[in-house]
């Protein structure tokens, strides 16, 4: 009888542990994007995007403060729809993509808020790493196609490029860069 009770307790513990594990998601790169805009002469905006990114995240349905988010961008995938400007931005005056091929973010703390999360983490750009925080809205889920479970998150944030060593032409070109990120993940 003791062996039977022990077996039931062990099986129940295994089920509880399995249910409380975080759910891992992989990026659906056809439904993801990192876009930005920056002021030009205080008169207009220059828009751009990064075409090569990787996002991984996990969500723990039993503990809303236990998700994790990571983002990696290939800096040379920068695209402002102007080859001459893009080549200049990839060079040593700005992103210096040969020396700094990645832009990265990794969460260090996540707090549940209305409609999503407040995410804090280490943001690395051009060899400089700083802690940043931003709201990450979303988390709604859908099954599409049948048997494929997905969820989406979006955010908008601003950073000062001069804080990351991108000081060239601050003034004519704005210091604050506005970034929009949207990503859809597929449950692994």
Residue 19: per-residue pLDDT: 40
Residue 8: per-residue pLDDT: 36
Ordered structural domains, the chain, with CATH = 22-187 (2.40.128.110)
Q: pLDDT higher for 19 or 126? A: 126
Mean pLDDT of all residues belonging to the chain = 88
3-state secondary structure of 188: coil
Residue 73: per-residue pLDDT: 97
Per residue, the 3-state secondary structure of 50-93, as one string, reads: ECCEEEEEEECCCCCCCCEEEEEEEHHHEECCCHHHHHHHHCCC
What pTM value is reported for the model?
0.83
In angstroms, the CA 133 to CA 3 distance is: 51
Spatial contact of 149 and 187, defined as CB atoms under 8 Å apart:
yes
Tens of pLDDT, residue by residue over 34-90, are 999 999 999 999 999 999 999 999 998 788 778 999 999 999 999 999 999 999 999
Spatial contact of 179 and 153, defined as CB atoms under 8 Å apart:
no
Tens of pLDDT, residue by residue over 3-45, are 333 343 334 333 334 344 789 999 998 999 999 999 999 999 9
Residue 60: per-residue pLDDT: 87
Contacts of 122 (CB under 8 A, 6+ apart): 104, 105, 106, 108, 129, 130, 131
In angstroms, the CA 60 to CA 155 distance is: 20
């Amino acid at each position: 009888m003791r062996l039977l009770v022990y077996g039931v307790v062990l099986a129940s513990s295994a089920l509880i542990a399995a249910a409380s594990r975080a759910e891992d998601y992989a990026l659906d790169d056809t439904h993801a994007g990192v876009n930005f805009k920056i002021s030009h002469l205080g008169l207009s905006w220059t828009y751009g995007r990064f075409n090569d990114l990787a996002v991984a995240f996990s969500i723990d349905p039993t503990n809303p403060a236990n998700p994790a988010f990571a983002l990696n961008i290939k800096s040379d995938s920068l695209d402002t729809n102007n080859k001459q400007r893009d080549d200049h931005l990839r060079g040593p005056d700005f992103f210096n993509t040969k020396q700094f091929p990645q832009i990265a973010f990794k969460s260090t703390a996540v707090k549940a808020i209305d409609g999503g999360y407040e995410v804090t983490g280490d943001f690395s750009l051009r060899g400089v790493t700083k802690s940043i925080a931003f709201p990450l809205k979303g988390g709604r889920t859908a099954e599409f196609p049948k048997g494929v479970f997905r969820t989406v998150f979006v955010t908008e944030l601003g950073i000062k490029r001069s804080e990351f060593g991108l000081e060239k032409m601050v003034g004519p070109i704005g210091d604050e860069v506005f970034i929009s990120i949207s990503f859809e993940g597929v449950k692994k």
